Amino acid sequence: MEFYNIVNIYADKFIPIFIRVMVMLAFIPFIGSTTTPVIVRTGIGLALTLLLVPIVNVNMQDPMRAVFEAFFVGAALGLIVRIVLGAIETAGQWMSISMGIGVAAVFNPQFGEVLGPMSLFYSLMGMGLFFILDIHHFFIEAIVRSFDITTVQYQGMFSAVLKLNELFFPLAFKIAAPIFLVQVLVNLSMGFLSRAMPQANIFFISFPLLIGVGITFMALTLGLTFMVMTKSFVHIKDAMMFLVK
């Protein structure tokens, strides 16, 4: 009965708030995953909406515009984290290919696609850091602050998301750089060995060597990888606050 009363009192702005929250949640790792039951995602979105309805203001002079702005702002905030997680996933895929294990495809339930084993590992590690660093709390703060915007600057938000997208490949390269370097050195060594010993079958030597050395250096540089990922998630907070200022 109380739920019905709340919806009845705030019916005019319930739908725009619910759309903005649900669109943003669709991009958040684990919560927006296809493996998470729809009823769970809807319940979380509904709970956040009921918390926001009494405290935020929505301009309902034009209902269609309010709904469109809700979708646009929610998508802009969600794309920020998806760009960073996509860069981490891409770095893992590059590592899998350079180590020669890219053919060992693994299904990633987070994004519903088939990836290399290293890509899945780094994707799950990035998702864990996302919640460990409480980045999801900043999303809640950003969604509340977004309602303080009287006029949505579509061009400014779009440009900000595109500017953050410029960090996609540099971030992926920073994560994969140590593995790339050692793989190049191993391949060069195998090339010199092949010239010095043409009768030896270098392929059967280099294949397990690339995997072993790659996994070893991945473990040794894990601390550096965590530092790079942590800094990238700090950029997420700054980008969100920039969008809703």
Q: Which domain holds residue 181?
A: 2-243
Q: How far apart are CA 172 and CA 176, in angstroms?
A: 6
pLDDT score at 9: 64
Residue 74 is classified by DSSP as H
Beta strands in 26-175, from DSSP E residues, in sequence order? 106-108, 113-115
Residue with tokens 């920073």: 174
Burial of 153 per CB tally in 10 Å (0-12, 13-18, 19+): exposed
- pLDDT greater than 80 at residue 10: no
Give the model's confidence band at 148: pLDDT under 50 very low, under 70 low, under 90 confident, else very high.
Answer: confident
Question: What percentage of the chain carries pLDDT values higher than 90?
Answer: 0
Phi, psi of 106 (to 5 degrees): -130, 140
- pLDDT greater than 60 at residue 111: no
Mean pLDDT for 211-216 is 82
Q: How far apart are CA 155 and CA 173, in angstroms?
A: 29
With CA atoms as reference, report the closest residue to 85 among 105, 106, 113: 113
pLDDT score at 112: 57
- In this structure, how many other beta carbons lie within 10 angstroms of the beta carbon of residue 207? 14
Looking at the structure of the chain, the number of domains it has is: 1
201: left (phi over 0), alpha (psi -120 to 50) or beta: beta
Q: How far apart are CA 224 and CA 178, in angstroms?
A: 10
- pLDDT greater than 70 at residue 3: no
Mean pLDDT for 9-23 is 78
Question: What does the pLDDT look like over 120-130, one tens digit per residue?
Answer: 788 888 888 88
Phi, psi of 157 (to 5 degrees): -65, -40
Phi, psi of 107 (to 5 degrees): -75, 130
Question: What does the pLDDT look like over 54-92, one tens digit per residue?
Answer: 777 777 677 787 778 778 888 888 788 788 888 888 888
Which residues are bridge partners to 146 per DSSP? Answer: none
Q: How far apart are CA 165 and CA 110, in angstroms?
A: 21
Mean pLDDT for all residues in the chain: 77
Give the model's confidence band at 11: pLDDT under 50 very low, under 70 low, under 90 confident, else very high.
Answer: low
